[in-house]
Structures are given as C-alpha cells and as structure tokens.
Structure 1
Amino acid sequence: MAYRLHEVAKWVQASSGNESGTPDTVRFGVAIEESDVVFVRSSDEFEPEWLNLVRELYREVKVKPVVPVGFLPPNIEEEASEFDETWGGIKGWLDKQRVNSVVYIALGTEATLSQEELTELALGLELSGVPFFWVLRNPPESTQSVSEMLPPGFLERVKGRGVVDLGWAPQVRILSHDSVGGFLTHCGWNSMIEGLMFGRVLMFFPMVNDQGLNARLGNGKGLGVEIPRNERDGSFTRDSVAEFVRLAMVDDSGESMRIRAKEMKDLFGDRNKNNRIVGEFICFLEENRPPRCPE
C-alpha cells in the first residue's frame, strides 16, 4: 500500500505550488496535530485492517478516536432534476447496449490528460472493442478543444460503439444503468463509492492526491484492475489500456473480480447499513459534545 514514484513527484510538485502559500504537508500536519477526533468515510466491514492501523497510529502519537461514518452513498433522485435535459439522450444510447457491456470513463476535474495520454487512452479504448461512454471535459485555460486533441478519425471509427460526451454528465444515473458493467475511474473516493454501490467492476487510473492509494486499496480488495504505468514518469500504452479494459469487462480471467465488485452492492449501496453507521456516528457526537457555555 504505497504511492508510485510518479505519483509522489506529481503530488510534491502540486503541493509546493499551492495557491495558499502553505504546502499541503504543513496543512495536513497541523490538522493531524490539532484535531481531537478522526472521522473516516468508510466502514470496519470493508477495511478493518486499515482502520485498525490508523487507530494504532493515533494511539501512539496523540490519543484520539477514529470513527467511520459509512460510505454516504448519493441519492439518484437528487441528481435527476439537475440533468433532466441531458439524461434522455444518454439513456437512449445506453438502452440499446447489452447488459453489463459498457465501460463508463470519467477522470474528474482536478487533473487533465496530456496530449500523449489522451491519445493513448483513446486508442486503447478503440483497440479494446468494448462499448464505452467517455465523459471528457476541455482542459482549463486551454485554447484548444479537447475534441480537437483526440486522434484523427477516432470519433468516426468508434461511432455507434463509443460515445464521447464533452459536457457535464449525470454520473450516478449512468452508473445505475443496467448496460454499464465497469467504470474506468481516476479513483477519487467519491467516484469509487458511486461505482461500487452499483457493483461495477473498476479500472483504476489514478491522477492526483490520494487517488493512487485508493487504487491500491481497490486493487488489493480484488475490485478491479489498475492500468499499468511507467513507475518513473507515469506513461502508459494503448495496448495496456486495451488489455486491462478487456480483462475487467469481458475476459474469463476477470470473472472473479466482476463477481467481487457485484458483491459490494450489499455494502456500499445498502442504505440501511449505511444509515446504521451514520446513526452510530451521531451517537458518538452526542456523547462527546462539549458542555454548553453558561448563558
């Protein structure tokens, strides 16, 4: 359970350039030192070994409780009204695909792909032969549209089998659709929760921050595959993208991870279980709240 070298280099570079002028390492250190309790968006049922390790570490440094709050799965109904205008067309395309056949790709908004990375990912998806729905946004402050950065002829060659959506998409509703079988994700914890609450097998493609460790966690739990990257510079090839997308989505050798991911619905998507953990969290707050100040 560790960062790759290229992830560390990118994280240190981003941290040192923080707009606040205070490196993230200092901010994290102060938060750890000054806090009285640690809340974690997870559960003992999912990762007891890591939560217990955190508890041991905090007993050694400064005694403080570590309390899981559950996964707080999002509500599809709350997302529905925001994307009513765009959902109809997306649903129409998904309805035409076979059950569990589509891989959904979304890499978040905090980091962007370079031209080389975008090209390799696109050509890898093409080589895989797997139907896909790819949410792709324009790089911030770029004068070039991301659609212009795609390989020449790519959109024409994948037409019908693949969709590239250049706007905001209703991620939870897409992941909930029966035709979606997998999620190629940047491994933001929120996105991983959304994928696993519907039992989607994951293809890990971490970009920044804690995403590398999230990928190691999911990979170690057998919930998907991590697309291989060069240890030093983070580069990857179209062939590895195609190979690991097929492994996750269609190859017989990937069946065990697809089954394992489906089992996660009973943990990540069970509202009764999650509400029980939230209830325990609320009880903790009530029992440990400071006394009221005299009026």
Structure 2
Amino acid sequence: MASSTNDGQNFHIVMFPWLAAGHITPFLHLSNDLAGRGFTITFITPQKAIDRLGHLNRHPNLITFHPLTLPPVDGLPAGVETASEVPIELTHFLCVAMDRTRDQVEAVVRGTRAKLVVFDMAHWVPEITRLLGIKSVNYTVLGASAIAIVLVPARGLEKGKVLTEDELAVPPPGYPSSTVVLRRGYEAGLLGFLFMPYGEATTFWERISLGMKGCDALAMRTCDEIEGKLCGYLGEQYEKPVFLTGPVLPEQSEDRLEDDRWAEWLGKFEPGSVVFCAFGSQVFLEKDQFQELVLGFELSGHPFLVALKPPAGASTIEEALPKGFEERVKGRGIVTGEWVEQVAILNHPSVGCFVNHCGFGSMWESLTSRCQIVMVPHLADQVLNTRLMAGELRVGLEVERGEKGWVSKEKLSEAIQCVMNSGNELGCSLRENHEKWRGVFSNPGFMSRYIDKFVQNVNELVKS
C-alpha cells in the first residue's frame, strides 16, 4: 500500500529501462509505487512494450507512456522493438537501435522538465542529465551479485590482459561472499559474454560500468536481508550512494489468473501437485535441449504446465515435441509457446513447484510464492542468482548438468521429485528454509518500507 513520505516533493521523474520485459516490468512496478506517493512519471519505452505491459499501469493519471521510435539497424529484423522478439545473440543490434534514440530521450527529459532520470542500459543518460543540471540514478534490476562479479574480469582489463579460467573463478579482493561466485569450466566461461559487442563501439561490460560510473547514485532491486553486503561492496567500488527498492512486486490482489483456460485446467488437479516451468522471454533452447527438458517433466510423473519459446529451428512448439509425447501426457501435461501470467499461475493453489531459469524477477517471484523451487540457469547472472538461492539461502535445488553442459531428463525428474516429495529429507529442509524467507518478504510493510526509504533517498539526491 502506498504511503505519503515524499514531503510534498511531487517532482517529475523520467524512467528509461532497457528494452526487455524483465527490465520494463520492474521499472513499471517501481513507477506505480512512486506515483502512489505523489510523483509524476514519464515512462519511455517502445509501443510494443506499452501494448504488452501497459495494463500494469495503476496510476494512468500520473504515469504517462512515451513511445520510443527505434530506427532501422542492419542486422536487426524489421519491426523488432523488444529483446523478447530476437535471440540473445541479436540483442547487440537492438542495443545499437536504442543508442540511436538518444535525441528522442533528451527531448523528453527537456520537455517534461524532469528532476530525475532513472535508467539502466543507456549508459549515455548521465551525459544528458549533467548538461541539464539534473540527477540520474542507475537502477539495476539484476542481483547485486551479478553486478559485483563484473569486477572480476575488470581486474584483468585494468592490467591489459584477459584472465585465465582459474583467475575468472576467483572473486575480486574484498568480495563479501564465498558462495555467490562462478565456478570453473562452463560457469567461468559465461563471463565471456561481458566482452561481446553491445551497441556501437561498446561491450556489455563497458556499458554497465560506464553507466554506474557516470550516474549520481546506484539503485538496486534487492534488499539488505539477502544482498546487503554485496550492495555495500558495490557502493565502495564505485564510490556512489546505493539506494535499495526491495523486490518491487505487485500486490497479491493483482495476481489473479485472468485467462480462464489456465484457471480451468489447473483447477482439475490436487493442491500443490502441478509443476510449472518458465524460462523468461530471452531464453531460446536448442531442439535437443528442449526435448530433453519436456521428457524430464513427463518422467517426473507430476502434472505439468510448461511455457517456453519454440526452440531453434522450430516455428511452433508442437513441431518440436518428441514423437508420441502429446499422446502420452494428454490430460496431465501441457507445453505452450504462449505468454502466460506467471505470477498468477504461481499463486494458483494447484501449482506446487516452479522450474525456472532463476532470472532475478523469477527469483523474487519464486521466493514470495509457496511453490518449491527447481533451477536451470542459463546466463551468468542467473547462475549467480542460483548460487544465492541454493547456496546461501538454501531454498531451492539446482538441477545437475551433464558433460555437455545441459540437464538430462533423469536429473530434472530427480530434482522435481526431491522437492515435491514430503518424505525427502533435503526437500523438507529446502521447504522449511523457503517458508522462513517467504515469511520475511510477506511481512506487512516489508516492501513499502523499502520504497519509503527510496523516496527519502531520491528527495535528498535531487536537493543536493
């Protein structure tokens, strides 16, 4: 519930998130919380994102969408406006397109007379705000651990060398965790993504680092209870104040299933019996990975609802399914390529397990739900989130990978059965820990206290 803690400071804020649903959604939830406290917001994002997510705007009288027009870019398919429309290897071109909207963004900031701009991937925003004499906040919707680990390869770049695999797996000096790290082999190799082009003449790492160095303050979508030490570490490294927003999740009353098809189908099963799987909007599996995964759900014996994009080389989910699969699981299992209401499904009483990629949004949604948690991470930040969940908080189980770097149907099935079986000792321990942490996050006033403190922080920043 919103509270009035802005001391009458109803100034204007411009929000400009990266062009991906996993970034736009938490920016919009934060906008709702700020609007509920009297701020006015201009939210810059492409029209397709507005069409998809605009219904989440709870304060249309205070939050105004400004459609961003992306220019054509060689290598980016015509009409693409969001990251969910392309495989991850093409997001570089989407980033180029975003960078070429700089004039549009500056015009909005000038026209609204904003006193604050909140951004993430557009590292050039602080250059605009400094010219206009206003403040900027770099808002990270990933975990603090994902940003802190960036400082590992940064040590090598500062010395003019590329670190070895062993060096990449060693946390930087002063890093406050021995658990939330990348292991050697497959995981250390994920850091190579940091050096890939991400926009014109900019790597992913340079983009993140420049944005954090140029802004007036860092903001993190996290809380002291689980990542306080990592946030403090980042503040020391970048010599910036760090503002925490908490998880910025919608109220439970907003999470009822609106799609009658899923409500009716889920309603056929016993409470807590259904396994739900979703890997976010940017995970594109290979066909053999996809087939091994769905066979794992079949093998588990539990009813299941799987929402994934068609794998590489397939235009539909149906053509990619293993032979005879649909007939064998008819009545107890569905695999769909459609977008689904993830939070509402997690809150349905029939759903008892959430198999996910441990993106930061899915991590929070799983922590605040009653579902048991099974994790199959893909990218470096997801691996680190998984370390936090499985290693430090001990609230979920990561599926063991084989020699080829992917999970087998047997290992996936074993993980599901472990967390779903009330007689399994490890599963019971994970459930108890999960319930303890869920109690912390669902405590009345937990989330609103973080927003109130964030409001206080930005008020002080704007006055300084």
> When the two structures are superposed, what TM-score results if normalisation uses the length of structure 1?
0.86
Q: Deviations over 1:212-237 (max 9, x none)?
A: 11111111211110011147x52221
1:95 Cα deviation after fit: 1.3
Secondary structure, counterpart of 2:445 in structure 1 = helix
1:255 aligns with 2:436: no
Structure 2: gaps of 5 or more residues: 1-179
1:39 matched to 2:219? The reply is yes
Q: How does 1:98-109 map to 2 (within 5 A)?
A: 98-109=270-281
Displacement of 1:14 in angstroms is 7.5
Unaligned runs of 5+ in 1: none
User: Who is 1:66 aligned against?
Assistant: 242
Which of 192, 204, 225 is the matching residue for 1:24? Answer: 204
Q: 2:304–2:334: 8 Å Cα contact kept in structure 1?
A: yes
CA distance in 2, matches of 1:277, 1:265: 16
- Answering whether residue 220 of structure 2 is matched by residue 51 of structure 1, we say no
* Map 1:188-227 → 2, pairs under 5 A: 188-220=359-391, 221-227=393-399
> Structure 1 residue 150: deviation in Å?
1.4
Structure-2 residue corresponding to 1:238 = 409
**1:112 matched to which residue of 2?**
284
Letter in 2 for 1:90: W
- Partners of 1:96 and 1:147 in 2: how far apart? 23
Corresponding residue of 2:400: 228
**Structure 1 pair 13/230, CA: closer, same or farther in 2 (3 Å)?**
farther
Q: Give the direction of change, closer, same or farther, for the CA distance of 1:62–1:164 in structure 2 (3 Å limit).
A: closer
Flag the 1:70–1:128 CA change in 2: closer, same or farther, 3 A: same
- Which secondary structure state, in structure 2, belongs to the residue aligned with residue 55 of structure 1? helix
Asked if structure 1 preserves the Cα contact closer than 8 Å seen for 2:212 and 2:238, the reply is no
Following superposition, the deviation at residue 248 of structure 1 comes to 1.4
1:134-181 C-alpha deviation (Å, 9 max, x unpaired): 1122347x5532221111111111112212122111111111111111
- 3-state DSSP class of the match of 2:224? coil
Please state if 1:131 is matched with 2:303: yes
What displacement does 1:15 show? 5.1
**Higher radius of gyration, 1 or 2:** 2
Question: Which stretch of the first structure deviates more once superposed, 183-192 or 280-289?
Answer: 280-289
User: Aligned partners of 1:62 and 1:167: how far apart in 2?
Assistant: 41
Q: CA deviation at 1:9?
A: 3.1
In the alignment, the residues of structure 1 paired with residue 420 and residue 201 of structure 2 have an alpha-carbon distance, to the nearest angstrom, of: 44
Letter in 2 for 1:181: G
Q: Are the aligned partners of 2:343 and 2:365 in contact in 1 as well (CA < 8 Å)? A: yes
CA distance in 1, matches of 2:358, 2:278: 10
Shift of 1:260: 2.1
In structure 2, give the amino acid aligned to 1:39. A
**Are residue 283 (structure 1) and residue 456 (structure 2) matched?**
yes
Structure 1 residues 32 and 102: alpha-carbon distance in aligned structure 2, compared to 1, 3 A threshold: same
1:144 equivalent to 2:323? Answer no
Q: Deviations over 1:227-256 (max 9, x none)?
A: 11147x522211111111111112522012
Alignment RMSD? 2.3
Q: Is the 8 A contact 2:402 2:408 kept in 1?
A: no
Residue type of the partner of 2:229?
Answer: N
- Give, in angstroms, the shift of residue 281 of structure 1: 1.1
Deviations 1:260-280 (A, max 9, x none): 223333233445210011101
Q: Which residue of 2 aligns with 1:172?
A: 343
Contact kept? 1:198, 1:262, Cα under 8 Å: no
112 and 258 in structure 1: CA distance in 2 versus 1, 3 angstrom threshold: same
Q: Which residue type is aligned with residue 398 of structure 2?
A: E
Provide Cα deviations, 1:23-80, integer angstroms capped at 9, x if missing partner. Answer: 10111221232233221212112x1xx4224314532x34322222111112455566
- What are the equivalent positions in structure 2 for 1:150-161 lying under 5 Å apart? 150-161=321-332
Specify the code of the residue in structure 2 equivalent to 1:114: E
**Residues 289/265 of structure 1: CA separation in 2 closer, same or farther (3 Å cut):** same
> Match for 1:243: what amino acid?
E
The correspondence for 1:122, drawn from 275, 291, 294, is 294
Question: Using the alignment, how far apart are the partners of 2:194 and 2:449 within structure 1?
Answer: 38
Q: Distance in 2 between matches of 1:76 and 1:170?
A: 13
Which TM-score applies when normalising by structure 2?
0.56
Tell me which residue corresponds to 2:3. none
Counterpart for residue 266 of structure 1: 439
2:436 maps to a residue whose letter is: E
**Higher RCO (CA 8 Å, separation ≥ 6 residues):** 1
How high is the sequence identity, in percent, across the aligned residues?
32
CA displacement 1:120-146 (0-9 Å, x = unmatched) = 111111111122111122347x55322
Question: Structure 1 counterpart of 2:215, which letter?
Answer: S
1:2 is matched with which residue?
181
| Residues 38 and 112 of structure 1, relative CA distance in 2, 3 Å threshold | same
